[in-house]
Amino acid sequence: MQETWRWFGEADPISLEHVRQAGAAGVVTALHDIPDGTAWPADAILRRKAMIEAAGLTWSVCESIPMEQSVKRGDRDAPRAIARWKDTLANLGRAGVPTVCYNFMPVVDWTRTDLRWPTQRGTGLALRFEMTAFVAYDIFILQRPGAANDYDPALVLRAEAIASAMSAEDKHRLEQNIIAGLPGGALVQTRASITGLLDSYKGIDDATMQGNLIAFLKEVAPVAEEYGIWLGIHPDDPPFPLFGLPRVVSKPQDVRAILAAYDSAHNGLTLCTGSYGARADNDLVAMATEFAGRINFAHLRNVTTEPDGSFFEDDHLDGGVDMAAVVEALLREERRRLACEDPRPAIPFRPDHGHLLGDDAVKATNPGYSYIGRVKGLGELRGLIKATDRGLNREEMQS
């Protein structure tokens, strides 16, 4: 498996030199400075690639080419947006970027209600999704029409009690935390813009959304094949409905439909153990085993879930995901690929997110992407991978 690191470009508080010091060989990045709705020029891609290589690293994964809302809605602008996506994909392929991670989440990207939650074991500050707080925002702060109908009445009552006890500052902080996961984040989105985006999805259900995703895949997967790119769709985060929007990359049956839509290893998955793991009925070991041949990228992090759907991001080797068994499934798949001369490189993975530790808590960081917490996570995963790999070598010698 190839160790990689998410890097947000020159504006990232963490430098490429620090990435190299962490021990990662690959970089996961995108051209975040280019606005949505614009194909990435070939020369801009090559400049970014040269910058990464000058630091002694490799641009292993592009995460992500922006996915315009029109594609997800399947509206009249979708063909032009898909054409722009394909142009960017082709330019990445010509530049030699081998893997592209993308998502198909409508309106919201990752969503959390607390970006600095003190963990119970005292291991720093974590990202947390608190279901009651989210419902309080949806119904009583955003005041989405009909929102109360989407939740259990007892949950609505608890959310109302929380909302009524919130100060104006509390409500603002909650809103900013939720907005942080939207495209553009707090710098672009407002309550009015969120409402407008939600309204644009009226009448679009899961079946329609899945059909739009499949139509997109049938357009872009052949381009990925032509240019030697391995696609990996990222799951919904969290993997259940938010704001009444459809979610179509949340469960194993969703994955089966995606893979069947275009039967090629170039149409693959990003196995995000934290996102899929936030749904208690998802068996990550079973998913890693069943879909191993189509896993083109992995985000390795752990979550601890609660009965009402709340969860927090735990230490990388703790929580509800059996990380040791997931890693073993991925290493076994790498051995299979090696044996059959599969053209795909080693499965790239990154330590996904990390707690705020030490003086990172008072530094400028992207939520979930502090330095020390991810170095800690990468070190834990590195040790697990090496130990598991050694065990598999011994197993092969004895067979």
Query: Known catalytic residues?
Result: 234, 272, 299, 352-353, 369
Residues 6+ apart with CB under 8 A from 159: 132, 133, 135, 136, 139, 140, 151
Question: Going along the chain, which residue ranges are E strands?
Answer: 2-6, 26-29, 58-63, 99-103, 114-118, 125-129, 230-234, 267-272, 295-300, 302-305, 311-314, 348-351
Q: How far apart are CA 155 and CA 130, in angstroms?
A: 12
- Asked if 31 and 40 touch (Cβ cutoff 8 Å), the reply is yes
Alpha-carbon Rg for the chain, nearest whole angstrom, is 21
Parallel/antiparallel/unpaired status of strands 99-103 and 58-63: parallel
> What's the number of CA atoms in the CB half-sphere (13 Å) around residue 188?
11
Q: Which helix (H) or strand (E) holds 179?
A: helix 168-179
